[in-house]
Amino acid sequence: MKWVAYTDGACAPSNPGPAGWGCVLIAPDTTETDHFGFIGPGTNQIAELTAALEGLNRVPVGGVVELVSDSQYVLKGLGEWRAGWERKGFRNSKGEQVANLALWKQLFAAADARKVTTRWVRGHNGDVYNERADALANKALATRSASAR
């Protein structure tokens, strides 16, 4: 039985600027729930990482989950970049500390506690759940609600 978490982050009217996240979580029984929250000042990368983290944290520990995102940054970080970052002490190819390291470490811990696969979808391209996650992230910006749902 698999969970599916569609996640998206948003910054508006500028990047960096006010940031929010959205997640559509589909439970194994196909129940769909919407979650979103206002982060405050941030970047689009922070918003995308927060959305993925919030989505994974809503899946029970040990659960099987497919994380679906339009963020190559999040998906490549979880997949192809992670091993190299860990091997180099969380330094990037320029020898600098990986940006948003605290969030990355939280995301890695959340992923490690679950059986996670990832899937990329093109943003703003008609995927119903991706569009819904985007709308939720923008709703968070519009409401400036600090409480996560």
Q: Domain residues of the chain, as ranges?
A: 2-77+107-143
Q: What is the pLDDT of residue 92?
A: 87
Nearest-CA neighbor of 43 among 77, 70, 10, 7? 10
Q: How far apart are CA 40 and CA 61, in angstroms?
A: 28
Q: How far apart are CA 16 and CA 22, in angstroms?
A: 18
Q: What is the pLDDT of residues 75-129, one digit of tens each?
A: 999 999 999 999 999 998 899 999 999 999 999 999 999 999 999 998 888 899 9
Q: What is the pLDDT of residues 11-64, one digit of tens each?
A: 999 999 999 999 999 999 999 999 999 999 999 999 999 999 999 999 999 999
In the predicted model, what is the mean pLDDT of residues 134-148? 82
Answer yes or no: CATH 3.30.420.10 is held by domain 2-77+107-143. Answer: yes
The pTM score is 0.94
Q: How far apart are CA 18 and CA 34, in angstroms?
A: 20
